[in-house]
Amino acid sequence: MRVAIVALVLISACTDVSAPADDDPAETADDGLLPDIDGKSDGPYVATGTTLSFQLESGAFPGAGHPDVVVYLPSRLDPTPPVDVIVFLHGWYNCASNVVGATDTVCTTGTGTRKSYALAAQLEASNKNAILIVPELAYDQPNGDPGALAGSGAMRAMIDETLGKLEPTLGPLSADDVGRLVVASHSGGYNTAAAFVHAGGMPVAELYLLDSLYGHTADFDAYVTSATADFADLSRRFATVYTYSGGTLANSQAMATRAKSWLSSSAIVDDRTTSTWTAPTYAHGLLFKRTGLTHDGVPRYYFGRLVTTSALADVE
């Protein structure tokens, strides 16, 4: 049996100036994939698994006084190797424990609540046999500094140590036991995502930039062009979802234009409308999607839908 471990990265920056392509309504939950989340509670599905947090020597900012990683283990997880991994990278003014949950909470006393993304509930609803790993980046700060996670091999070291911490719950696991690896970033998490695909020390099978393509375009281009055949046959998948005013539109649309010289058009979806996708649309190697959702609405909607349509192992 396979287990999926998912590490996701979330990020934000920039401003876009292009006008919307059309007046299509924003995406809805009526797509046959996942129910919607109301943004204030667990909504129609809940996280019934286990959430754990750990201090790490290989964290972004070890010794900073808070957990260096938050992990979610779905309720029906089978940890038999190989294990798939999803790494999620959060953005500005947020913290790992908050983005995993479905209710907005306070990261730093006196600063007000931060936006949550219901990552655990979305993973639970996806029926994927995966572990969600959310490393702590710049804690509740207005920056996307990846800290020590920018170093060569840092992603592998972080995943390896995190899996080691899970031994009392899952048994012995290491980075060598990882099967399919997914990295997702929101907003300012793109700095860490770029470091992971450039020199993280492990192959990334799927990369999701959730309103997060603010820069490092050469690294993300190289991620695709270094293995175009893998994207053509869906061995790998890349997605960028971008808002009209979040600062990621120009970079995302420019990359979509470049991509048409890298792969056959049959492997690419370049949707500059805000239409609602159904499952078959996600079954392409390169996904470029304009959204009518808010910046914080992007991970609450698209994280689970991308995971659901991924090649991660299903729960059996």
Lowest mean per-residue pLDDT among 26-40, 56-70, 111-125:
26-40
Residues 6+ apart with CB under 8 A from 291: 26, 27, 211, 241, 242, 243, 274, 297, 298, 301, 302
pLDDT-derived band of residue 32, with 50, 70 and 90 as boundaries? Answer: confident
Average pLDDT of the segment spanning 67-96: 97
Percent of the chain with pLDDT over 90: 84
Residues 6+ apart with CB under 8 A from 181: 5, 7, 84, 85, 86, 87, 159, 202, 203, 204, 205, 206
Please write the tens of the pLDDT for every residue from 243-293.
999 999 999 999 999 999 999 999 999 999 999 999 999 999 999 999 999
Lowest mean per-residue pLDDT among 49-53, 96-100, 101-105:
101-105
| pLDDT value, residue 24 | 58
| pLDDT value, residue 34 | 86
> Per-residue pLDDT for 217 more than 60?
yes
Structure tokens at 226: 């270094």
| pLDDT value, residue 46 | 79
| pLDDT value, residue 15 | 33
Q: Residue 250 corresponds to which amino acid?
A: A
| Whole-angstrom distance, CA of residue 83 vs CA of residue 81 | 5
pLDDT-derived band of residue 7, with 50, 70 and 90 as boundaries? Answer: very low
Structure tokens at 27: 């995406």
Measured CA to CA in angstroms, residue 6 lies from 131, 156, 182, 184, 207 at distances of: 5, 13, 6, 8, 11
Please write the tens of the pLDDT for every residue from 172-208.
999 999 999 999 999 999 999 999 999 999 999 999 9
Phi, psi of 211 (to 5 degrees): 45, 55
Average pLDDT of the segment spanning 110-139: 96
| pLDDT value, residue 43 | 52
Phi, psi of 134 (to 5 degrees): -120, 95
Most confident of 10-14, 15-19, 141-145: 141-145
Domain spanning 3-308 has what CATH number? 3.40.50
> Per-residue pLDDT for 28 more than 90?
no
| pLDDT value, residue 207 | 98
| Whole-angstrom distance, CA of residue 37 vs CA of residue 301 | 8
C-alpha dihedral sign at 30, 316, 309, 164: positive
Instruction: Residue 117: name the closest of 166, 47, 221, 21 by CA.
Output: 47
| pLDDT value, residue 14 | 35
The model carries a pTM of: 0.91
Strand segments, DSSP code E, in 195-290 are: 206-210, 237-242, 268-271, 286-290
Structure tokens at 141: 């700060």
Residue 145 β-bridge partners: none
For tokens 């080691």, the residue is 164
Chain centroid to CA 261: how far?
26
pLDDT-derived band of residue 35, with 50, 70 and 90 as boundaries? Answer: confident
pLDDT-derived band of residue 213, with 50, 70 and 90 as boundaries? Answer: very high
